[in-house]
Structure 1
């Protein structure tokens, strides 16, 4: 066999036809075509592989971290057709890293054996990630704030990519968690979900009661709704009440014939500890 020229598959098969005795050289041809476990891909092979992954649009996680030191955030990715895969998010020195995922969506993403780095007083880690291209889920952790527990579920990924970012922030003071209880009542037949944002804290969409764990430095909440009314002739009003003061603080109209995951609800509702959301068909429809 000529140097750097591999024998074709069809040619190899002829060496092992019934009644034939392959020679040492022919066995060498076969071995040269095998990819062994410890073989290292050449730069050319790596580029070819990367280009093929881009071409078939494999799902991937890409992460960016800045000055996080020894922090390590292992995330476990589970899919229905492959064994679990683990990717460790760690210091990238201001660049980004991409990791392709095995299997097919949906992927369930959870944290495993998280290890913090070192933080100075009043420093916290900011964690942001996107399971949906429309919004980011964010949290602070470290120092007096609860760390991310082993097994904590980041959520379910159905899209082609999931960005994760982690960096340090110093706010000049200690930050504490404050809680607001949310009671959600949907009096319509239309599936409706809500989502909450605050400073350095945001959550995903849900349709059940919840309790926030946002921060006292930004003690306000903003609400968004997701619903498909494209097949409905009736609009829906979602009203937010301050339960402790029995006060209506916001009304959002979800319009008939439209579908959205970004209907803005109450914005910057400050220092409310108990909220009730009631969604019902608009009057006169």
Structure 2
């Protein structure tokens, strides 16, 4: 008589390959051995899983959410060798970091899939910010205020491309007054043969790097613009100056420097442009204006 002993994995394969099935008792024991999605892991299993997760070196999204209600935020992530991955960042514990790891390998691109907001009081808004590649010299933060009279981030909004991890924070803030968008037109002129990119930043607002003309949509309560540049000059023996002008009166506002022999990843623009609606940035090799 065949003993009711749980067969090994290889024995089970042979059973099915040769149309010889496990006994009823063996099959019941096999089912009991399988994990169900609703099963609560034992402490030992949880420790094994935690140790396994600690060894994962994939890039990931770390996010925090504060004062959350019925908000719904979905993101899509695409890597160079995997299909689209959908990530829900709606469920958070206040002040506790949540992590979602990415499939595939870098670079990764992240976009908004869905941005559904809860009800807001008259002067309440959502503050949305994310930091790209926080562990590198090229790290920078993009910020937005949304909700009420300010536009929600639309489907397809590009959060950028990154190689490491991305840190996202989403919170509800009462600013005590209405906030409106103001625009500054930026004309970018690069008179060098080097690929130079710039980004504009203001309080609660920031853009991605660009090498073309752009228009800001920052906020009237903080009408101040800072500029940052990046350019790889490791093989270049000339410094580069990027000067910011007020187009309306041709006044020089600030000068930023990109240094020869270096990979300039987040170069400081030099000063702040306050209350200016039309700006021109001109980049030239030093002493060759």
Question: Normalising by the residue count of structure 1, what TM-score does the alignment of the two structures yield?
Answer: 0.86
Partner residue of 1:142 out of 120, 127, 147: 147
Structure 2 residue runs without a partner (length 5+): none
Q: 1:248 to 1:58 in 2, by over 3 A?
A: same
1:155 Cα offset (Å): 1.7
Q: Given that residues 6 and 32 in structure 1 are in contact (C-alpha distance below 8 angstroms), is that contact kept between their aligned partners in structure 2? A: no
Given candidates 217, 231, 236, the residue that maps to 2:235 is 231
Q: 1:245 maps to which residue? A: 249
Mapping of residues 30-49 of structure 1, within 5 Å: 31=30, 38=37, 40=39, 42-43=41-42, 44-49=44-49
Structure 2 residue 27 is the aligned partner of structure 1 residue 28: yes
Query: Are positions 1:59 and 2:59 aligned together?
Result: yes
1:199-226 Cα deviation digits (max 9, x unpaired): 1001121111111000010001000111
RMSD: 2.9
* 1:151-210 deviation digits (Å, cap 9, x = unpaired): 222222321x22111111222111100101111111111111111110100112111111
Work out whether residues 79 and 107 of structure 2, in 8 Å CA contact, stay in contact via their aligned partners in 1. Answer: yes
Shift of the 7–157 alpha-carbon distance from structure 1 to 2, 3 Å rule, reads farther
CA distance in 2, matches of 1:179, 1:41: 53
Q: CA deviation at 1:239?
A: 0.9
Deviation at 1:277, TM superposition (A): 0.8
1:72, 1:16 → 2: CA distance?
46
SS of the residue 2:114 aligns to: coil
Give the secondary-structure state (helix, strand or coil) at the position aligned to 2:115: coil
CA-to-aligned-CA distance 1:97-139 (integer Å, 9 cap, x gap): 2122222222221112321012111111100112221211110
Corresponding residue number in structure 2 for 1:218: 222
Aligned residues: 281
Give secondary structure in 1 for the equivalent of 2:148. Answer: coil
Give CA deviations for 1:212-252 in whole Å, capped at 9, x if unaligned: 00001000100011111122111111111111111111112
1:1-285 equivalences in 2 (<5 Å): 9=9, 21=20, 23-24=22-23, 28=27, 31=30, 38=37, 40=39, 42-43=41-42, 44-94=44-94, 95-133=96-134, 134-159=139-164, 161-283=165-287
- Give unpaired runs (5+ residues) of structure 1: none
User: How far apart, in 2, do the equivalents of 1:255 and 1:22 lie?
Assistant: 73
Secondary structure of the residue aligned to 1:105 is: coil
